[in-house]
Amino acid sequence: MWLRIQGPLSLAKTLKYLTFFFVWPGVVPAKYVIVMILIWPLVLFVSSLRNCVDNRSVQEVSYWLLVCLIAIIGTCLAFWQDPRYYRYPIALMAFTAVFGLDHIARNAVGLRSTALIGVALLILASPGYGIMRQQGGGFSYPTIADNLAVFSNRLSTAQVMQQRYPKSVLASREAFLHPVEYERSAWDTDMGEGNKALSSFLLPLRPQVGLWYTNIIKWQSYPNAKQSAAELSQYGVDWIFRVSDGGFRLLSSGEYALEAEKFDRFPDHTTWDYGFPAELVKVEY
């Protein structure tokens, strides 16, 4: 059901946009891999003209290119299209890119110098170096000064939380002002404000709830507020701790169950569309 709601693609659509899925996330080795896949017949042809066909190497590169294809197809079939899910096959892509480019350099281009090939690979890998200088922004990348302060023990976790997760600090402080409710509470770590209401990892230890994201409330119970409230109570949750509109709120399990009742379980589009063509973001049931 979760996969249906996220709207994973059919195999036909995945194959139709396959080359696009290698390129759009911005994963550099994935781009090199799809280019190698497309020019692989030409590489074999040029290698044969030069009488430099290494059958064992050809078989191994072909194998890894095929594995990369399967990995991207599997990612698209299992998840909605999101750059974060490319972190699973990224090591595979990086290895295949290096191995395949080395094969092309030696057999199709005719380079024999390992040093030259290494320099070429470093140049091809250089587009990703900019991540080291990124700071701030929507993902709150730390500055170089922040990193140096951490290494020199001048910046503590408490200070970082105050700077980057002030809502989690507020939640932790306010929660202990309600000791009775706290014993049967859960954190609302759903999308929240700006998709970053609370950090799931920087909170006092209690269960966490989130419509669509956790399964304390069973999926089929969402339309029934009474049943949803009962399931929360059975799990030991009578109160929901939430940070919204810059303040701390307590919701009863009944109030939270009413929100679940109104939740759209069957959206007609994926949550994030990234400007994709309509057929990639429209959910069919």
Average pLDDT, the chain: 85
pLDDT band at residue 2 under the 50/70/90 scheme: very low
Amino acid at 266: F
With CA atoms as reference, report the closest residue to 211 among 264, 271, 175.
264
Q: Where are the alpha helices (DSSP H) in the chain?
A: 2-6, 11-16, 18-23, 28-49, 55-78, 90-104, 114-125, 144-151, 157-164, 166-175, 179-182, 225-234, 253-262, 278-281
Spatial CB neighbours of 45, under 8 Å, sequence gap ≥ 6: none
Range with lowest mean pLDDT among 21-30, 129-138, 218-227: 129-138
156-172 confidence digits (pLDDT tens): 888 888 888 888 888 88
Give the pLDDT of residue 191: 52
With CA atoms as reference, report the closest residue to 237 among 175, 186, 181.
186
Give the pLDDT of residue 100: 95
Which token pair is 179? 């000791």
Give the pLDDT of residue 8: 67
pLDDT band at residue 195 under the 50/70/90 scheme: very low
pLDDT(66) > 80? yes
72-115 confidence digits (pLDDT tens): 988 888 876 677 788 889 999 999 999 999 999 999 998 889 99
Better pLDDT: 161 or 229: 229
Using DSSP's 3-state secondary structure scheme, residue 141 falls into strand
Backbone torsions φ then ψ of 282, nearest 5 degrees: -80, 130
Give the pLDDT of residue 266: 85
Give the pLDDT of residue 239: 95
pLDDT band at residue 234 under the 50/70/90 scheme: very high
pLDDT(1) > 70? no
Which token pair is 129? 């170096």
